[in-house]
């Protein structure tokens, strides 16, 4: 199993380190053609508008559409969630529409309102605590009928899945807890 981490912008190196901690091979993806050799892909946090411009310049959109159509799992955190959402608010912008959620950009506030807290996740059938770091985080405002809520903070959904697409409003790569990355790796194994 080899997981790519989109390395155009954002905190991609930390996702690579999280995968290293669970002994999963990863590669930084800087060209669309590099996706062909990957079994799964992480789209990290960063700035969604910048990320979309870089993806467009690198002709990533058709390659990602093919990757998704082939059922290969994709995990988006923070800006990655915004890129993958069906609908984006504040302001409206292009997104790939791979998961049926509506997301509001920067809904938890600006950089100075960033925070770390504990939420609850249900990743293997049993609820448990999960450390979460929110940095200019988006909010999931709507879940489609086939989207599963996997984690909550303050009663709101902060992590969800639809088929081969996993998204989180927070940054699991900024903690020492590898629970979320291990869950995504199991998705990739099951899809292979």
**Chain segment 64-87, per-residue pLDDT in tens:** 999 999 999 999 999 999 999 999
- Residue-wise pLDDT tens digits, 83-127: 999 999 988 988 999 999 999 987 776 666 678 899 999 987 778
Total residue length of the chain: 192
Would you say 147 and 160 are in contact if contact means Cβ atoms under 8 Å apart? yes
174-187 pLDDT per residue, tens: 999 999 999 999 99
What is the total count of domains within the chain?
A: 1
Tell me the C-alpha distance between 36 and 178, whole Å: 26
**CATH number of the domain to which 98 belongs:** 3.40.50.880
- Which whole-number Å values give the CA distances from 189 to 10, 50, 184, in the listed order? 26, 31, 9
- 53 pLDDT more than 70: yes
Tell me whether strands 99-104 and 74-77 are parallel, antiparallel or unpaired.
unpaired
Catalytic residue among 162, 171, 181, 185: 171
Are 83 and 97 in contact, with CB atoms under 8 Å apart? no
Is 171 marked active-site? yes
- pLDDT reported for residue 143: 97
Q: What is the DSSP string of 1-58?
A: -EEEEE-SSSSHHHHHHHHHHTT-EEEEE-SGGGGGG-SEEEE--S-HHHHHHHHHHT
Alpha-carbon distance of 51 to 123, in angstroms, equals 28
* Residue 155 pLDDT: 92
Kind and range of the H or E element at 189?
Answer: helix 179-191
User: Is pLDDT at 41 greater than 70 in this prediction?
Assistant: yes
Q: Is 76 exposed, middle or buried (0-12, 13-18, 19+ CB in 10 A)?
A: buried
Give me the domain span that covers residue 39.
2-191
Q: How far apart are CA 172 and CA 19, in angstroms?
A: 11
pTM of the model: 0.95
Residues 29, 4 contacting (CB under 8 angstroms): yes
Q: Residues 15, 78, 104, 157: which is the catalytic one?
A: 78
């Amino acid at each position: 199993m080899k997981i790519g981490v989109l390395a155009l912008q954002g905190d991609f190196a930390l996702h690579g380190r999280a995968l290293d901690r669970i002994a999963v091979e990863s590669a930084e993806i800087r060209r669309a053609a590099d996706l062909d050799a990957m079994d799964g892909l992480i789209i990290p946090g960063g700035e969604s508008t910048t990320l979309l411009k870089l993806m467009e310049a690198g002709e990533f959109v058709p390659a990602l559409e093919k990757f998704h159509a082939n059922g290969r799992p994709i995990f988006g955190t923070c800006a990655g969630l915004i890129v993958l959402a069906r609908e984006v608010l504040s302001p409206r912008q292009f997104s790939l529409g791979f998961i049926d959620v509506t997301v509001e950009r920067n809904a938890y506030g600006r950089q100075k309102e960033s925070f770390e807290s504990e939420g609850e996740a249900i990743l293997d059938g049993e609820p448990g605590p999960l450390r979460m770091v929110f940095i200019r985080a988006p909010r999931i405002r709507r879940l489609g009928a086939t989207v599963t809520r996997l984690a909550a903070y303050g009663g709101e959904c902060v992590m969800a899945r639809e088929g081969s697409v996993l998204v989180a409003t927070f940054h699991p790569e900024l903690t020492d807890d590898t629970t979320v990355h291990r869950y995504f790796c199991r998705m990739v194994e099951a899809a292979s």
